[in-house]
């Protein structure tokens, strides 16, 4: 079962075009950007104002919640006023949970209706029961009866439907049969797809959102694979739900959405941020532009099948090719199961005392510094202020033997030194230079030697490997993918305990750096190596876009975050960011977003909508200030009770709007305190965290 044409190039998944009003989604259309208003829908003026503001910044599809029939009725006037303001071409989507009556009203007024299969016809009671096949069939018939009127009316009116599954708000029926799993999410949507198809209705868009990017990625992959073998290839709406705000929200969204887009999946995207929704659009625009630049740059040498699929032709017979494609003249076998997260198994290795690599060790963080920065005692390399995001490795370029002397002097003089230092050796540097200039000078940090080797460098590679092994150092090998075969014998003799692999600038080129690292994992598997992989974001891996911090953040999330969600990556470096502290912080935030290493509290915060019962932005900021130091703890902050508890899925604690001015507190999925006045609810949350043994006092502030 495959979910995309290639995991090594961005070949767009062909999909049928679905019209949402005048806006085409899928097919040959560009990626469409969308967002959602946060006003009370019955406040018509505010909702129109927000919708127009979104359209003005480039939002192509605007979603508005319709929590009840009264709110759904307001959509008529909202539609009229937005059209009168000059935005008749911007389609509106009604967001429905629970109430088919609201959907039946909304479909009269707007171009698309989103339903959540977990709660459209099912009341969630968290019941645990066995469903016999006959019980299950009866439930499906009930579902058919409840959903069919909407499908028929949408067909009559030419509306589109989004079947939008959310992790954590699956029906009891699906939970009991499939569990809280990607398969359960997919099956939940397909139950609704089958009803649509039974009525000959195909204007369907699907989404599979989760707040955990790994689950979200696996689920969309599974959906694409299942759908494209048994159903029409309907367009996909991508999003990471409850991503939060600021850098973290952008990173989580970019990891999930970017990873899928690089594999060619996705036709419309929403970046959900706990911020004013207009701030979502520039992020979505930048993500979409990077992905679409890869579509246009589909490399030559594509097979006929791939070409047909990339062109979106022959949609009636779309079937994906297996995950074995021709690349640079050799077949590349993917070594990863894309539907199940499993970290690539590596051998244990000590980089420095108390800094190991291994299956149970977190990925380590390296920053790139100049010789001057290494020598500067006030540099962030030596700063105690990076306590929660420590720089573990420092990569310094070594062009000449004199540079080695300088490194040696810097490390001798420094009061505090990095955990380990990586010397990026130019071709002119020999083991003899290392021996004469740096050996026995009592550097305070262990050394890793990074060198590029070409296919003719077998003997040289063996020399460096022997040199490093004799001194207990690690050799980081930067090898172009095409050079693995000629170097195979030398590489096999390296062993796994003092070699690291990374990719050269050209191998990990912008065309599909994720694919290049996947191939690296495949090459290592071929030679039986369990050596760690170092993921490097460098100027050579930079994609389309400017030199802004947002652009660097998105690309780091695509490459490093995407690979970590594939189970690859044991060291990471964001070398595109020159500021050392920012580079380290960005690396830690990407690790946290990918669930690979926790350096602070993780917040799962909904973006807010017309159902929200308190000010989400200020509440999230306030709770973050009080609890943001709790490494490894996950806190969900949800604006409402009807949807929040289900959507917060795997959080440790939840702070959820129960009624206007009232908060419900959760431990896991269990509500333990109801209807607390919002004043004082923060303290009750902290008390709850303490009761469950997850509280630590914040560290005292360090002097500047
Ligand atoms: S959890 Fe937040 S975004 Fe979701 S429905 Fe409730 S208020 Fe709206």
3-state secondary structure 8-29: CCCCCCCCCCEEECCEEECCCC
Task: Tell me which DSSP letter residue 263 carries.
Answer: T
Nearest Cα neighbor of 496 from 531, 524, 523, 465 is 531
CB of 658 within 6 A of ligand 1: the answer is: no
Count of CA atoms in the C-beta half-sphere (13 A) of 261: 33
Q: What is the pLDDT, as a whole number, of residue 306?
A: 46
Q: Which atom of ligand 1 is nearest to the CA of 607?
A: 3
CB of 114 within 6 A of ligand 1: the answer is: no
Cβ-contact 681, 704 below 8 angstroms: no
CB of 41 within 6 A of ligand 1: the answer is: no
Nearest Cα neighbor of 253 from 95, 55, 33, 56 is 33
All residues at 6 or more sequence positions from 521 whose CB lies less than 8 Å from its CB, including other chains: 335, 336, 344, 533, 568
What one-character-per-residue DSSP string does 132-195 give?
Answer: -HHHHHHHHHHHHHHHHHHHHHHHHHT-EEEEEEETT---HHHHHHH-SSHHHHHHHHHHHHHH
Cβ-contact 393, 363 below 8 angstroms: no
N- to C-terminal Cα distance for the chain? 55
Pocket test for ligand 1, best of 272, 604, 608 (most atoms within 8 A of CB): 608
Q: What is the pLDDT, as a whole number, of residue 641?
A: 79
Give the start-end residues of each E strand in 85-141: 92-96, 112-115
Neighbouring-strand partners of residue 663 = 657, 676
CB of 608 within 6 A of ligand 1: the answer is: yes
127: CA distance to ligand 1 center in Å?
23
Neighbours of 657 (CB within 10 A): 25
Give me the residues of the chain with pLDDT under 70, please: 124-128, 296-334, 383-386, 415-416, 439-444, 505-510, 642-647, 649, 700-704
CB of 639 within 6 A of ligand 1: the answer is: yes
The pTM assigned to this predicted structure is: 0.91
Q: What is the pLDDT, as a whole number, of residue 693?
A: 95
All residues at 6 or more sequence positions from 512 whose CB lies less than 8 Å from its CB, including other chains: 8, 9, 10, 262, 294
Instruction: Tell me how far apart the alpha carbons of residues 557 and 670 are, in angstroms, rounded to a whole number.
Output: 32
Q: What is the pLDDT, as a whole number, of residue 508?
A: 56
Instruction: Tell me how far apart the alpha carbons of residues 220 and 267 are, in angstroms, rounded to a whole number.
Output: 12
Dihedral pair phi/psi, residue 420, rounded to 5°: -150, 160
CB of 647 within 6 A of ligand 1: the answer is: yes
Nearest Cα neighbor of 3 from 338, 340, 343 is 338
CB of 567 within 6 A of ligand 1: the answer is: no
Instruction: Tell me how far apart the alpha carbons of residues 91 and 624 are, in angstroms, rounded to a whole number.
Output: 36
606: CA distance to ligand 1 center in Å?
6
Q: What is the pLDDT, as a whole number, of residue 443?
A: 64
Dihedral pair phi/psi, residue 604, rounded to 5°: -110, 105
CB of 74 within 6 A of ligand 1: the answer is: no
Pocket test for ligand 1, best of 94, 280, 612, 656 (most atoms within 8 A of CB): 612
**Residue of minimum CA distance from atom 6 in ligand 1:** 640
Q: Coil, helix or strand for 388? A: coil
CB of 612 within 6 A of ligand 1: the answer is: yes
């Amino acid at each position: 079962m495959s979910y995309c044409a290639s995991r090594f190039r961005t070949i767009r998944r062909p999909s049928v075009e679905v019209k949402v009003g005048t806006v085409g989604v899928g097919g040959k259309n560009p990626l469409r950007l969308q967002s959602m208003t946060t006003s009370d829908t019955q406040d018509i003026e505010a909702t129109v104002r927000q919708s127009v503001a979104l359209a003005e910044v480039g939002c192509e599809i605007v979603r508005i919640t319709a929590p009840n029939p009264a709110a759904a009725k307001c959509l008529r006037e909202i539609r009229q006023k937005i059209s009168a303001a000059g935005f008749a071409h911007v389609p509106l989507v009604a967001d429905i949970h629970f109430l088919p009556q609201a959907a039946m009203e909304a479909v009269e007024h707007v171009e698309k209706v989103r339903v959540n299969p977990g709660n459209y016809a099912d009341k969630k009671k968290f019941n645990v029961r066995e469903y016999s096949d006959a019980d299950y069939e009866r439930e499906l018939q009930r579902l058919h009866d409840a959903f069919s009127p909407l499908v028929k009316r949408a067909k009559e009116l030419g509306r589109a439907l989004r079947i939008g599954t959310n992790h954590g708000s699956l029906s009891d029926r699906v939970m009991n049969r499939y569990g809280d799993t990607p398969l359960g999410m997919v099956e939940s949507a397909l139950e609704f797809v089958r009803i649509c198809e039974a009525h000959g209705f195909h204007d369907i868009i699907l989404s599979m959102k989760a707040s955990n990017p790994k689950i979200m990625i696996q689920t969309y992959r599974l959906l694409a694979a299942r759908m494209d073998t048994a159903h029409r290839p309907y367009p996909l709406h991508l999003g990471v739900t409850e991503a939060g705000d600021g850098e973290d929200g952008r990173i989580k969204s970019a990891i999930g959405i970017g990873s899928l887009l690089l594999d060619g999946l996705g036709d419309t995207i929403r970046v959900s941020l706990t911020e004013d929704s207009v701030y979502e659009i520039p992020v979505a625009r930048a993500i979409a532009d990077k992905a679409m630049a890869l579509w246009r740059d589909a490399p030559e040498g594509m097979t006929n099948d791939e070409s047909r699929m990339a062109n979106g032709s022959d949609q009636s017979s779309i079937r994906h090719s297996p995950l074995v494609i021709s690349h640079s003249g050799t077949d590349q076998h993917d070594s990863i199961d894309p539907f199940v997260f499993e970290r690539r198994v590596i051998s244990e290795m000590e980089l420095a005392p108390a800094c190991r690599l291994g299956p149970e060790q977190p990925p380590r963080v390296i920053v790139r510094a100049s010789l001057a920065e290494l020598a500067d005692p006030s540099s962030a390399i030596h700063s105690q202020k990076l306590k929660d995001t420590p720089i573990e490795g420092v990569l310094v370029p070594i062009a000449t033997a004199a540079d080695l002397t300088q490194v040696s002097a810097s490390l001798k003089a420094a009061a505090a030194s990095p955990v380990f230092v990586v010397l990026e050796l130019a071709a002119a540097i020999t083991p003899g230079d290392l021996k004469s200039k740096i050996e026995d000078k009592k550097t305070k940090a262990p050394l890793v030697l990074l060198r590029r080797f070409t296919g003719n460098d077998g003997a040289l590679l063996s020399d460096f490997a022997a040199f490093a092994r004799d001194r207990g150092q690690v050799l980081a090998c930067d090898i172009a993918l095409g050079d693995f075969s000629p170097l195979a014998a030398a590489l096999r003799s390296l062993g796994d305990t003092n070699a690291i692999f990374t990719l050269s600038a050209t191998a990990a080129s912008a065309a599909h750096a994720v694919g290049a690292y996947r191939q690296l994992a495949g090459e290592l598997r071929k030679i039986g190596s369990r050596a760690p992989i170092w993921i490097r974001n460098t100027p050579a891996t930079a994609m389309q876009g400017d030199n802004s911090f947002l652009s660097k953040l998105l690309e780091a999330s695509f490459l490093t975050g995407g690979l970590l969600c594939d189970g690859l990556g044991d060291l990471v470096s964001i070398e595109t960011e020159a500021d050392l502290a920012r580079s380290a912080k960005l690396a830690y935030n990407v690790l946290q977003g990918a669930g690979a290493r926790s350096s602070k509290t993780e917040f799962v915060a909904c973006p807010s909508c017309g159902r929200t019962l308190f000010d989400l932005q200020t509440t999230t900021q306030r709770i973050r200030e009080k609890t943001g130091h709790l490494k490894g703890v996950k806190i969900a902050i949800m604006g409402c009770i009807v949807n929040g508890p289900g959507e917060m899925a795997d959080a440790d604690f939840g702070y959820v709007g129960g009624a206007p001015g009232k908060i419900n507190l959760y431990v896991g999925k269990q509500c333990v305190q109801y209807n607390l006045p919002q004043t004082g609810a923060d303290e009750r949350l902290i008390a709850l965290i303490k009761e469950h043994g997850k509280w630590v006092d914040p560290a005292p502030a360090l002097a500047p």
